Amino acid sequence: MEVTRIQISLFLCLLSCASSLGTRYTPDWASLDSRPIPDWYDDVKFGIFVHWGVFSVPAFGSEWFWWYWKGSQSPSYVQFMIKNYPPGFSYTDFAPQFHAQFFDPEEMADIFEASGAKYVVLTNKHHEGFTNWGSPYSWNWNSVDNGPHRDLVADLGAAIRKRSLHYGLYNSLYEWFNPIYLSDKQSGFKTRDYVEKKAMPELYELVNRYKPDLIWSDGDWEAPDTYWNSTGFLAWLYNDSPVKDVVVTNDRWGKGCYCKHGGYYNCADKFTPGELPNHKWEKCQAVDKISWGYRRNMKLSELMDLPSIIKDMVYVVALGGNYLLNVGPTSDGIIAPVFEERLRGVGAWLKVNGDAIYGTKPWRVQAENATVPVWYTSKSSTVYVIITSNPMQNSFTLSAPKTSSNTVVTLLGSPEPLKWAPLKTSGLIVLLPDLPFTPADAWTLKLDKVA
Ligand SMILES: *[C@@H]1O[C@H](CO)[C@@H](O)[C@H](O)[C@H]1NC(C)=O
Ligand SMILES: *[C@@H]1O[C@H](CO)[C@@H](O)[C@H](O)[C@H]1NC(C)=O
């Protein structure tokens, strides 16, 4: 008895204490890629992505404003500037207008919490290079010396963590117009001054100061991971950083890395696999289908409506992914009410249907064209069937689940078990009640004790 207990706790420790018992990762992909992704990440399933920066001031077109204006010189951006700003106005002149004067971190965190999200990822720095904290490596191109005169990373983080949500930071490795980066680029990335003087010292400082649970790396694609020294950074992050046991990372660590190396896979933006990937992944998707940053010229028809957000999230979770839904705050620090409405709508749906999402695993069958198309998720011998369009009839046929006489079928949100009968070969027919109205247009059947 005593021996068994010791053996069991030793065994459990071997499973969970591996990193504290001295699994050291070496700075190469074979070793780093072998690190298990901390469990919290797969369990939470749903997060909020927040793109906020100087681009929120012109709030026109997209968060790539500076690039489209001065880099590719896209006509609509060039015209917008000629029409609305005096000659000689530069992008850096927007920063003092980044006031965030209505930014109440508690209010913003309340909205994120009400969405049912379990993690929030804020842009610490987008490709424009402006940091939303007082980075000592940023000269005055940061939110403490300029613009809001406030540490946005710290302030939002404190409110997020107070609500027990996980806090992640998005970090762009490159900066479009940083002269040191451009000079490295000129050398074909043979010189590494930008990495050594700016990108890496800043990233280490960010991790030590804010202890993010997640690092969402981006802006890596022009240079190889050897230029960024990504493996050196990740080995430190996983072995010795203050977040070594909890931190989760993505896969954008250098040209050719994504979908191959790092933590979970983002692959390309809005990655949409057709079948179950064999590696943990995340789909990021913005409510505004055109832009990640807030833009004043958005139109209602360009936004995802609530049912399409729910459908997208359900599809992602059924295929083993996490769903990171983006909203861009305004430069004055507000989540636009139209975004707030979407987020609260997701939360209302999750309140009833969250059992089919949080802590689930993909099932042996992920989707079926039943009476209407459905997605499956599972938790041990419970299988959830998520219906994302109203079947408009009471008899509902599913062929994948294998029932037994102990099988119980319920509709989430309604206490009464539903009548059902097995089909001859495999599957069952369920007698649905009239489905309650939901603005999300999606319902969940819970099948207990099926195989
Ligand atoms: C890469 O990062 C590691 C860990 O911080 C460091 O020890 C190493 O010197 C770096 N290598 C280069 C080439 O910068
Ligand atoms: C359901 O039907 C659609 C349309 O014919 C098809 O594209 C899809 O692959 C089918 N899904 C499954 C799981 O069979």
Q: Are residues 216 and 317 in the same domain?
A: yes
Give 248 Cα–ligand 1 centroid separation in angstroms.
Answer: 20
Q: 241 in ligand 1 pocket by Cβ < 6 Å?
A: no
How many Cβ atoms from other residues are within 10 Å of residue 448's Cβ?
14
Q: Report how far residue 385's alpha carbon sits from residue 401's, in angstroms, rounded to the nearest whole number.
A: 10
- Domain of 429: which CATH number? 2.60.40.1180
Q: Report how far residue 134's alpha carbon sits from residue 140's, in angstroms, rounded to the nearest whole number.
A: 8
Pocket of ligand 2 (CB under 6 A): 367-369, 373
Last residue of a domain, one of 356, 388, 409: 356
- Domain of 67: which CATH number? 3.20.20.80
Task: Locate 294 and state its tokens.
Answer: 């807030």
- Give the sheet arrangement for strand 382-387, strand by strand: 367-369, 373-379, 382-387, 443-448, 408-411
* 13 found inside a domain: no
Give 234 Cα–ligand 2 centroid separation in angstroms.
Answer: 40
Ligand 2 atom closest to residue 367's alpha carbon, by position in its atom list: 13
Instruction: Report how many domains make up the chain.
Output: 2
* 17 found inside a domain: no
Q: Are residues 313 and 218 in the same domain?
A: yes
* 3 found inside a domain: no
What is the identity of the amino acid at 235? A
Ligand 2 atom closest to residue 368's alpha carbon, by position in its atom list: 13
Q: Are residues 292 and 372 in the same domain?
A: no
| CA nearest ligand 1 atom 2, residue | 232
Q: What is the structure's pLDDT at 25?
A: 98
Q: Which of 311, 369, 376, 387 best tests ligand 2's pocket when mutated (most atoms within 8 Å of CB)? A: 369
Q: 236 in ligand 1 pocket by Cβ < 6 Å?
A: yes
Last residue of a domain, one of 307, 328, 356: 356
Q: What value does the CA radius of gyration of the chain take, rounded to a whole number of Å?
A: 24
Q: Which of 32, 203, 229 best tests ligand 1's pocket when mutated (most atoms within 8 Å of CB)? A: 229
Q: Are residues 161 and 39 in the same domain?
A: yes
Ligand at shortest distance from the CA of 400: 2
**pLDDT, tens digit only, all 451 positions of the chain:** 444 554 555 455 444 545 455 689 999 999 999 999 999 999 999 999 999 999 999 999 999 999 999 999 999 999 999 999 999 999 999 999 999 999 999 999 999 999 999 999 999 999 999 999 999 999 999 999 999 999 999 999 999 999 999 999 999 999 999 999 999 999 999 999 999 999 999 999 999 999 999 999 999 999 999 999 999 999 999 999 999 999 999 999 999 999 999 999 999 888 999 999 999 999 999 999 999 999 999 999 999 999 999 999 999 999 999 999 999 999 999 999 999 999 999 999 999 999 999 999 999 999 999 999 999 999 999 999 999 999 999 999 999 999 999 999 999 999 999 999 999 889 999 999 999 999 999 999 999 999 9
Q: What is the structure's pLDDT at 149?
A: 98
| CA nearest ligand 1 atom 4, residue | 232
Last residue of a domain, one of 330, 356, 382: 356
* 247 found inside a domain: yes
Tell me 428's DSSP state: E
Q: Are residues 371 and 396 in the same domain?
A: yes
> What is this structure's pTM?
0.94
Q: Report how far residue 324's alpha carbon sits from residue 284's, in angstroms, rounded to the nearest whole number.
A: 5
Q: What is the structure's pLDDT at 6?
A: 47
Question: SS in 3 state form for the chain?
Answer: CHHHHHHHHHHHHHHHCCCCCCCCCCCCHHHHCCCCCCHHHHHHCEEEEECCCHHHCCCCCCCCHHHHHHHCCCHHHHHHHHHHCCCCCCHHHHHHHCCCCCCCHHHHHHHHHHCCCCEEEEEEECCCCCECCCCCCCCCCECCCCCCCCCHHHHHHHHHHHCCCEEEEEEECCCCCCHHHHHHHHCCCCCCHHHHHHHHHHHHHHHHHHCCCEEEEECCCCCCHHHHCHHHHHHHHHHCCCCCCCCEECCCCCCCCCCCCCCCECCCCCCCCCCCCCCCEEEEEECECCCCCCCCCCCHHHECCHHHHHHHHHHHHHCCEEEEEEECCCCCCCCCHHHHHHHHHHHHHHHHHHHHCCCCECCCCCEEECCCEEEEEEECCEEEEEECCCCCCCEEEECCCCCCCCCEEEECCCCCECCEEECCCCCEEEECCCCCCCCCCCEEEEEECCC
Q: Report how far residue 279's alpha carbon sits from residue 119's, in angstroms, rounded to the nearest whole number.
A: 20
Give 369 Cα–ligand 2 centroid separation in angstroms.
Answer: 6
Give 356 Cα–ligand 1 centroid separation in angstroms.
Answer: 44
Q: Could you tell me the CA-to-CA distances from 39 to 147, 216, 292 in Å, in that order?
A: 38, 17, 28
Ligand at shortest distance from the CA of 368: 2
Q: Are residues 119 and 245 in the same domain?
A: yes
What is the identity of the amino acid at 391? P
Q: Are residues 334 and 398 in the same domain?
A: no
Q: What's the distance, Cα to Cα, between the start and end of the chain in Å? A: 33
* 168 found inside a domain: yes
Instruction: Please return the burial class of 204, using the count of CB atoms within 10 Å of its CB with bins 0-12, 13-18 and 19+.
Output: middle
Range of the domain at 30: 23-356
Q: Are residues 377 and 397 in the same domain?
A: yes
Q: What is the structure's pLDDT at 425?
A: 87
Give 137 Cα–ligand 1 centroid separation in angstroms.
Answer: 18
* 393 found inside a domain: yes
* 14 found inside a domain: no
Q: Report how far residue 26's alpha carbon sits from residue 306's, in angstroms, rounded to the nearest whole number.
A: 44
Which residue's structure tokens are 């139209």? 338
Among 356, 333, 337, CA closest to 345 = 337
Q: What is the structure's pLDDT at 270?
A: 82
Give 415 Cα–ligand 1 centroid separation in angstroms.
Answer: 58
How many Cβ atoms from other residues are within 10 Å of residue 143's Cβ?
28
Q: What is the structure's pLDDT at 21?
A: 54
Give 365 Cα–ligand 2 centroid separation in angstroms.
Answer: 13
Q: Are residues 292 and 441 in the same domain?
A: no
Q: Report how far residue 238's alpha carbon sits from residue 180's, in angstroms, rounded to the nearest whole number.
A: 28
Q: Are residues 348 and 374 in the same domain?
A: no
Q: Are residues 57 and 161 in the same domain?
A: yes
Give 123 Cα–ligand 2 centroid separation in angstroms.
Answer: 37
Ligand 2 atom closest to residue 373's alpha carbon, by position in its atom list: 1
Ligand at shortest distance from the CA of 201: 1
Q: Report how far residue 216's alpha carbon sits from residue 212's, in angstroms, rounded to the nearest whole number.
A: 10
* 310 found inside a domain: yes
Q: Are residues 189 and 331 in the same domain?
A: yes
Are the beta carbons of 42 and 153 closer than 8 angstroms?
no
